[in-house]
Chains A and B, each alone.
Chain A
């Protein structure tokens, strides 16, 4: 990236080795010089993180004059909710100003689930939380202005347009959108790579198109599945629930299906990279996933290993059993595998997801909060297991 800047700033764009904390911000170099003087096309020399550690880590807080004012419009439920939580904390740690606009009511039941139960951490870090509906965003945030807006809420134009239009009208310079890797058309030739054909009728596609027309500087992030403390929707918990109770883990299909399950800190670090390298990230679509895929069977085994327990996996055909696989299992039952090639290529981003290690931490928390003792119903599982016992018609 910053090929022409002096060496001390040069090193700042490297991701430090995985064990270290958030990536160093290069905001000083990027915003001081005009973008045209530094070749930031994806073909410019990018210092790979595999270089020897002479660039070893020092975490630098952004210089006061480079502080950005970031607004995160955050969904109040679902798998993506946790993204805003990590991103807010990472930005605050780097010295930026953060406001989280949580969609809905402060008093709603939805706020009783993580990550919302931990939003005090954002406040303690110096961030602000407000609540409201996206249609009223202009009213709720009256008088306030931001440099950057992340929409981590809408799945279609209806829900994002109000935010985008308001952001444009108040002079927001950089618009980020959490889209979905689910919009890629299925393929015989994985992985999904940025630029591949997407499903034209997908809501997120409409949004990507709209923001690309409205904003000069926009980036769309296409995530998949996440694990991490504070998650709103069960992922690894689904597997732990069964493993810890000695129940078989029913997996639809062959279990060989590949998917991306990343630690949410990877998504947060990619978003942060975009904030700190706005010119490089501009106009880009980025697969927001770690750089390893795992098979469904493999993930079940990793969860069991993290728990130090055995696992029995049973495969089934959802159609034969007569159940909706989406209700029975937390992941898609086809290959759903993207690679973060653009982020690595263009932003010099690196993944730190380490499922074997990360799942250990997740399991520890799972037990700590007493979920292993919780009384859970396994109606759908039981239905599946029953049908597998029945003799197979020849």
Chain B
């Protein structure tokens, strides 16, 4: 039983590291329609071109900052499957473990029995220092870090840390007319994500063996950011999809399971040392195209798309559309070339997975709110 008890104690019952190769194979781990073979065996397969992968096959003591909401849920499962000892550091607001849609009881219980929980507030830096120092971890996955100062106590507490794997964001790139964004491109020190930039800089300056992953828009079952959910709500109600301006803005979605896989691939990988990687889908998509892809995924008819000029409306503090109104996409060539990371889900496949395992079952994070839609549609009705 995963430690869920109150207070700051860490369960010590699971200090023995299970040996790596013993886990059963071909479990359909929450893949829905996709069946995957055990990751153990995948490790031995020659990586696609470019990956001189020095695989660290030994089991590690891993700390995940976060891990109970979205990315971390998928990542921590894979880490446990790989035979690592995984501790999730969270405040405990979300349940430490929850069964995934489509996950067998057997798989869930196997996971639940192995995952460890360290309850605390990562902003309580003294607590972070002492508790981490007491435990000692080989690797840290920082999934929810926002500011550089949050990272310092972790690094200070773990002088023998083998690797710090950070979930950054492609939002750090400076807006440009020349696209896609590449890892070598200029970043924007004034962006909303400057905390991520400062964290990357801190990791670099401290000489830590870090790897920073920059996703674009993440999607998939359990997404708490209303990305695909925003479209699904409207499609379900047979409502038109209001898209700002031309609908030609190009963006990019990356499936959470591909992201989790990427996080696994960089673990113990020498090539990834002190490197930054864009991780997202293999193709980009226009806003209009995304509406159509969501419709396909959910088996809805072709949507009616309404374009509008956002400047003509006052939405108050409500967001009328879930994406930045600009081109925003990044090349994933570097991860592909250097580490052999190839996204598995195409956009429609991935959206179908998300629909089948989440929205299509009646679950979602944010209730439908068509206030801004009605403002837009109301005005259109008046004019026509």
| Residues on A facing B (Cβ under 8 Å) | 42-46, 48, 50, 187-191, 193, 253-254, 256-258, 291-295, 297-299, 301-302, 335, 339, 341, 344-345, 355, 394
Determine if A189 and B283 form an interchain contact, defined as CB atoms under 8 angstroms apart.
Answer: yes
A295/B49 in contact, CB under 8 A: no
B48 contacts chain A at the CB level, 8 A cutoff: yes
* Interface segment out of the listed B152-160, B197-205, B286-294: B286-294
CB pair A299–B177 under 8 Å, yes or no, is: yes
Interchain CA distance A358-B245 in the complex, whole Å: 32
Known: A45-B49, A293-B178, A294-B177. A254 touches B245 (CB 8 A): yes
Q: Is the CB of B285 within 8 A of A253?
A: no
Instruction: Say yes or no: B177 contacts A189, CB within 8 Å.
Output: no
CB of B178 within 8 A of CB of A46, answer no
Known interface pairs A45-B50, A258-B250. Does A295 touch B288 (Cβ–Cβ under 8 Å)? Answer: no
Tell me the bound Cα distance from A258 to B252 in angstroms. 15
A82 to chain B, nearest CB (A): 22
Q: Does B249 count as interface, using CB distance less than 8 angstroms?
A: yes
- Assembly CA distance A299 to B178 (angstroms): 9
Q: Let me know if B246 and A253 touch, CB within 8 A.
A: yes
With both chains docked as a complex, state the minimum distance between the C-beta of B125 and any C-beta of chain A, in angstroms. Answer: 37
Query: B337 at interface (Cβ–Cβ under 8 A)?
Result: yes
| B333 contact set on A, CB distance < 8 A | 291, 341, 344
Which B residues are in CB contact (< 8 Å) with A42? 49
Residues of B within 8 A of A187 (CB): 289
Q: Which 10 A-B pairs have the closest CB atoms?
A: A298-B177, A188-B289, A254-B246, A189-B283, A43-B49, A292-B178, A189-B285, A295-B177, A190-B284, A256-B248
Tell whether, in the assembled complex, residue B249 and residue A256 are in contact, meaning their CB atoms are under 8 Å apart: yes
Q: Does B216 contact A (CB under 8 A)?
A: no
Known: A293-B178, A294-B177. A189 touches B347 (CB 8 A): yes
Give Cα A341 to B293, complex, Å: 24
Chain B residues near A339 (CB-CB < 8 A): 331
Within 8 A of A (CB), among B268-318: 283-286, 288-290, 292-293
Question: What is the distance, in angstroms, from A18's C-beta to the closest C-beta of chain B?
Answer: 12
Q: How far is the CB of A368 from chain B (nearest CB, A)?
A: 26
In this complex, the interface size class of chain B, counting residues with CB under 8 Å from chain A, is 20 to 34
Contact A190 B283, CB 8 Å, known A43-B48, A254-B248: yes
CB distance from A180 to the nearest CB of B (A): 21
Least distance between A64 CB and chain B CB atoms (Å): 33
Find out whether the CB atom of B338 lies under 8 angstroms from the CB atom of A48: yes
A45-B52, A189-B347 given; A50·B338 CB < 8 A: yes
A344 / chain B contacts, CB cutoff of 8 Å: 333, 337
Q: A256-B246, A292-B178, A298-B178 are in contact. Are A189 and B50 (CB under 8 A)?
A: no
User: Which residues of chain B come closer than 8 Å to A45, judged between CB atoms?
Assistant: 49-50, 52
B18 within 8 A of A: no
Is B55 in contact with chain A by the CB < 8 A criterion? no
Nearest chain A CB to B221's CB is how many angstroms away? 21
Q: Which residues of B contact A394 (CB under 8 A)?
A: 383
Known contacts being A254-B246, A256-B327, A293-B179, is A191 close to B50, with CB within 8 Å?
A: no
Q: Which residues of A lie under 8 Å from residue B284 when comparing CB positions? A: 189-191
A294 to B176, CA, bound (A): 9
Contact with A along B321-351 (1 / 0, CB 8 A): 0000001000101100110000000010000
Is B49's CB under 8 angstroms from A335's CB? no
Contact of B250 with A335 in the complex, beta carbons under 8 Å: yes
Contacts of A43 in B (CB 8 A): 48-49
Asked if B92 is at the interface of the complex by the 8 Å CB criterion, the answer is no
* Alpha-carbon distance A187/B283, docked complex (angstroms): 11
Q: With A188-B288, A189-B284 known to touch, is A48 a contact of B327 (CB < 8 Å)? A: no
Identify the closest chain A residue to B336 (Cβ).
A345
List A contacts of B179 (CB < 8 A): 258, 292-295
Check: B180 CB closer than 8 A to any chain A CB.
Answer: yes
Question: By the criterion CB–CB under 8 Å, are A188 and B285 in contact?
Answer: yes
19 further contact pairs, Cβ within 8 A, besides A44-B49, A191-B284: A45-B50, A50-B334, A50-B338, A187-B289, A191-B283, A256-B245, A256-B327, A258-B327, A291-B331, A291-B333, A292-B180, A293-B179, A294-B179, A295-B327, A298-B176, A301-B177, A302-B177, A344-B337, A345-B337
Question: How near does chain A come to B282, taking the closest CB pair, in angstroms?
Answer: 8
Expressed in whole angstroms, the Cα–Cα distance for A301 and B31 within the complex equals 46
**26 A-B pairs with C-beta separation under 8 A:** A45-B49, A45-B52, A46-B49, A48-B50, A48-B337, A188-B289, A188-B292, A189-B284, A190-B283, A190-B286, A258-B179, A258-B250, A258-B327, A291-B331, A291-B333, A293-B179, A294-B178, A294-B179, A297-B177, A298-B176, A298-B177, A299-B177, A339-B331, A345-B49, A355-B178, A394-B383
B286 partner residues in chain A, CB cutoff 8 A: 188-190, 335
CB neighbours of A190 from chain B (8 A): 250, 283-286
A349 to chain B, nearest CB (A): 12
Q: Which residues in A have their C-beta under 8 angstroms from that of B293?
A: 188-189
C-alpha gap A339/B246 in the complex (Å): 23
Which residues on the B side are within 8 Å of A44 (C-beta)? 49
The minimal Cβ–Cβ distance linking B276 to chain A, given in whole angstroms, is 12
Report the Cα distance A302→B177, complex, angstroms: 9
- For the complex, what is the distance from the CA of A198 to the CA of B343, rounded to whole Å? 23
Considering the chains assembled together, what is the distance between the CA atoms of A249 and B196 in angstroms?
Answer: 39
